[in-house]
Amino acid sequence: MPSVLGVDVGGTKTAVGPVNEEGTRLAAPLVEPTRTRDRRAFLGGLLSTLRRAMFEFAEHDPMAVGVACAGNIDSETGVVFSARHLPLADFPLASYLEEALRLPVYVDNDVNAAICAEVVSGVAQGLAEVVMLTLGTGVGGGLWLGGRLYRGASGGAGELGHMVVRAGGLPCACGGHGCLEVYASGRALVRYAATRAGDPVSDPQGVLAGLQEAGRLTGPEVTRLAAQGYPGALEAVGELSRWLGVGLINITDIFDPEMIVVGGGVAEAGELLLEPARELVRRHALPPGRDRVRIESARLGNEAGLVGAALEAWRRAG
Ligand SMILES: [Zn+2]
């Protein structure tokens, strides 16, 4: 049976896996670090990951490639206009990969891909008004409005990570200040944990300080410690959750969605992250939207972008 390789190119890692026409993952994905030093290193790394995946998943007969990556992308041509965490500005990624791999390649924004996957086969199955936020290296957004993907006039709609939640706040990778991304991304989670490292109450066993010293204080580590109930990690997730809540209030009031899907690596913190944010929405967003909106974890988890990119490649290649 043929498959499509779904590829999720993130700011820190790239995942590739075979997906069938119904959006079912046929094998655990191959995950390798994304090389972001410069464009040459990035493309060399991506091609080697893709070639390894084509070899590893050869039994699934890959016949096209669907790539999801963060950034402003023309999904028709596969040209990346801008990508804040990847050295890809103004680069024709789809045609470059097609030439190298000799397979049809389609490229779309990662959150657009993820929201399509969640609507087709995930937590938002069959819904018409859905907003997605992904909390990863950065914060991405996607809009599924009136039963279809909303791309805006120039394809750049849904940059929810760059809504300003604090006027004059911390500088953001986009050049602005006080964006949600600065307060609700994986990097923010690490920052919140780092400020608590060595504190006698928040870091009683010195776990955060030890990780920080070893250069291993990462988002997944903080999430894992929070799940174990470690005080400083719980506080860090709580601080992030409050900022997430501010973003969700804005989204609820603007779009009145049936569901807001929260995905990305930070969302692995699950209810520890979502429940306080839901409570803020219930208290501060406007009725009736606040009473109706469901705020849920992405069901396809970290693989939503991969599955959505593959589904889009199936649709277009088929
Ligand atoms: Zn920004």
- What is the Å distance from ligand 1's center to 225 Cα? 28
The CATH number of the structural domain formed by 3-115+303-317 is 3.30.420.40
Summarize pLDDT for 92-102 with one digit per residue, the tens. 999 999 999 99
- What is the Å distance from ligand 1's center to 60 Cα? 40
- What is the Å distance from ligand 1's center to 283 Cα? 26
Summarize pLDDT for 250-290 with one digit per residue, the tens. 999 999 999 999 998 899 899 999 999 999 999 999 999 99
Which parts of the chain fold into alpha helices (H)? 39-56, 93-101, 110-121, 180-184, 186-194, 207-213, 219-227, 231-255, 271-284, 289-292, 304-317
The whole-angstrom separation of Cα 273 and Cα 39 is 35
Q: Match 């690490």 to its residue by tokens.
A: 190
Q: Tell me, what's the pLDDT at 95?
A: 97
The whole-angstrom separation of Cα 260 and Cα 262 is 6
Q: What is the pTM of this model?
A: 0.84
What H or E segment, with its residue span, contains residue 73? strand 72-74
Nearest to 159 by CA among 168, 175, 169, 167: 175
- What is the Å distance from ligand 1's center to 299 Cα? 27
Residue 286 buriedness (CB in 10 A; 0-12 / 13-18 / 19+) = exposed
Nearest to 15 by CA among 110, 97, 93: 110
Q: Match 């790239």 to its residue by tokens.
A: 14
Summarize pLDDT for 121-174 with one digit per residue, the tens. 899 999 999 999 999 888 999 999 999 999 998 888 999 999 999 999 999 988
Kindly state the DSSP code that residue 177 receives in the 8-state scheme. B
Q: Which CATH architecture has domain 127-298?
A: 2-Layer Sandwich (3.30)
The whole-angstrom separation of Cα 10 and Cα 305 is 10
- What is the Å distance from ligand 1's center to 285 Cα? 23
- What is the Å distance from ligand 1's center to 135 Cα? 13
Q: Tell me, what's the pLDDT at 318?
A: 72
Residues carrying CATH 3.30.420.40, the chain: 3-115+303-317, 127-298
Q: Tell me, what's the pLDDT at 12?
A: 86
Q: What is the 3-state secondary structure (H, E, C) of 20-71?
A: CCCCCECCCCEEEECCCCCHHHHHHHHHHHHHHHHHHCHHHCEEEEEEEECC
